[in-house]
């Protein structure tokens, strides 16, 4: 049992609702606080002076003024990939359209070819390096999708690379099978046939090898229709997979499928209008904003303000990928969308902690309270408002995973 502190402030994020708008005065702020950790789990939290008075175990003394929060959770990434799409980015900011870039050899298919050519070990090492960067910035749980393999062998290779990387980093890596990212150009058949191929050939192997418990699909005019996706997702649920969806990025339809199939989350939603917002606000689903894609593509942001005001659960994730969202800095992106969507500090912190945990079906993290994982980050400041004020440039000084330090300056 170990007592860690004192901290100038502890933001526990407990006693906050899962859904709807949040005001900063709802935040619990413990001044001069401490936290007791037992076997990687939070045992107690409160006044450092009072905890110290009765504490008989080890101590980890924090020498510098610090603000403690739960570790960040990035619930949507594509960081299992090989190669670069810098050529795409240069063409995009020069005014080329998505179709023009694809015809020039860019787009998702470019990443598919480069990822297919990489070995499992190369992919795993790439994941490790990206996760280490994430850890340094405070991310202690990270979702990672496949989706650049698009056939059985290559998708399994990606998922195996994610599992291997999970054994080499402190952060928890949550894998998602996104084999339905697009119909590959080398598949001899229509969309429905490709999805049936995944259901018969790939997903049973994913389940048997225990490589992922989650299935995703990209619902868009350039990928799969709502009807095709709903059929595929319902069959995936019968096999035993949890569901998440890329929906309403450029056109609507995906959010309705997400509600119909009982998805854990629907991610993107940049194209969602009032009917979709009303529907999602009433549904038991997490709406995940991906500001990195909006920044990378020059598109509108997810209507997070209207979703929250309608009563929805809104999380924020990085969408870190080689094409549309190469930055990968979760906090910076969260700050940027907060500026444009007028999100409170409480809403931002909730969106990258316990609400992001809900998008992954995790209820053991994202809040600092007894019984939760001691996944924690400390920032070198005495006032929690400084964290967003510096627009992502104030980095954590210390990061703990299950109560053990993985970063210290």
Distance CA 215, CA 233 (A): 8
Specify whether domain 73-359 bears CATH 1.20.810.10.
no
Cα atoms in the Cβ-side hemisphere of radius 13 Å centred on 301: 24
Q: Across-strand partners of 408?
A: 398
The domain covering 2-71+366-408 belongs, at the CATH homologous superfamily level, to: Urease, subunit C, domain 1 (2.30.40.10)
Residues in a beta bridge with 3: 36, 59
pLDDT in tens, the chain (409 residues): 999 999 999 999 999 999 999 999 999 999 999 999 999 999 999 999 999 998 988 999 999 999 999 999 999 999 999 999 999 999 999 999 877 898 888 999 999 999 999 999 999 999 999 999 999 999 999 999 999 999 999 999 999 999 999 999 999 999 999 999 999 999 999 999 999 999 999 999 999 999 999 999 999 998 999 999 999 999 999 999 999 999 999 999 999 999 999 999 999 999 999 999 999 999 999 999 999 999 999 999 999 999 999 999 999 999 999 999 999 999 999 999 999 999 999 999 999 999 999 999 999 999 999 999 999 999 999 999 999 999 999 999 999 999 999 976 5
In whole angstroms, give the CA distance from residue 375 to residue 89. 35
Rounded distance, CA 5 to CA 66, Å? Answer: 9
Residues 6+ apart with CB under 8 A from 50: none
Give percent helix, percent strand, percent coil of the chain, each to the nearest 5.
40, 25, 40
Per-residue tokens: 238: 């019968």
Q: Which of 75, 76, 83, 80 is nearest to 161 (CA)?
A: 80
Residue 103: its pLDDT value, please?
A: 84
Token pair belonging to 259? 């509600």
Instruction: Quote the pLDDT of residue 303.
Output: 98
DSSP state of 274: H
Residues of the chain with CATH 2.30.40.10: 2-71+366-408
Q: By the 8 A CB rule, do 321 and 85 touch?
A: no
The predicted pLDDT at position 184 comes to: 97
Q: Strands 313-316 and 376-379, how do they pair?
A: unpaired
Where in the sequence of the chain do the CATH 3.20.20.140 domains occur?
Answer: 73-359
pLDDT of residue 344: 98
Using a cut of 0.95, tell me whether the model's pTM lies above it. yes
Contacts of 161 (CB under 8 A, 6+ apart): 80, 120, 121, 123, 124, 127
């Amino acid at each position: 049992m170990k007592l860690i502190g004192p901290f100038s402030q502890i933001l526990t994020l407990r006693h906050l609702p899962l859904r709807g708008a949040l005001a900063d005065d709802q935040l619990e702020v413990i001044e001069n606080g401490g936290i007791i950790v037992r076997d990687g789990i939070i045992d107690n939290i409160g006044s450092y002076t009072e905890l110290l008075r009765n504490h008989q175990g080890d101590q980890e003394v924090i020498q510098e003024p610090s603000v403690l929060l739960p570790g960040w959770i990035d619930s949507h990434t594509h960081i299992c990939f090989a190669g670069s799409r810098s050529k795409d980015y240069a063409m995009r900011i020069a005014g080329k359209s998505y179709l023009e870039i694809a015809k020039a050899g860019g787009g998702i298919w470019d990443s598919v070819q480069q990822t297919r050519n990489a070995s499992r070990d190369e992919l795993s090492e790439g994941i490790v390096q990206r996760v280490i960067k994430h850890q340094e910035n405070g991310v202690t749980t990270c979702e990672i999708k496949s989706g650049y393999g698009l056939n059985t062998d290559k998708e399994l290779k990606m998922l195996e690379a994610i599992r291997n990387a999970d054994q080499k980093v402190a952060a928890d890596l949550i894998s998602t099978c996104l084999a339905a990212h697009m119909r590959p150009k080398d598949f001899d058949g229509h969309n429905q046939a490709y999805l049936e191929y995944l259901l018969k050939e790939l997903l049973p192997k994913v389940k048997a090898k225990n490589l992922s418990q989650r299935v995703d699909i990209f619902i868009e005019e350039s990928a799969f229709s709502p009807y095709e996706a709903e059929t595929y997702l319902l069959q995936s649920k019968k096999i035993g997979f949890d569901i998440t969806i890329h929906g309403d990025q450029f056109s609507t339809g995906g959010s309705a499928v997400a509600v119909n199939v009982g998805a854990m989350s629907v991610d993107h939603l940049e194209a969602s209008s009032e009917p979709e917002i009303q529907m999602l606000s009433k549904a038991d689903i997490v709406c995940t904003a991906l500001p990195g894609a909006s920044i990378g593509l020059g598109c509108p942001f997810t209507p997070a303000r209207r979703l929250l005001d309608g009563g929805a659960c809104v999380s924020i994730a990085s969408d870190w990928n080689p094409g549309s969202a190469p930055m990968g800095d979760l906090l910076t992106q969260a700050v940027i969308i907060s500026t444009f969507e007028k999100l409170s500090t409480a809403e931002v912190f909730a969106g990258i902690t316990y609400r992001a945990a809900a998008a992954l079906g995790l209820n053991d993290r994202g809040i600092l309270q007894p019984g939760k994982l001691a996944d924690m980050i400390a920032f070198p400041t005495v006032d929690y408002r400084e964290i967003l004020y510096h627009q992502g440039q104030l980095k954590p000084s210390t990061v703990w995973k299950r109560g053990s330090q993985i970063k210290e300056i």
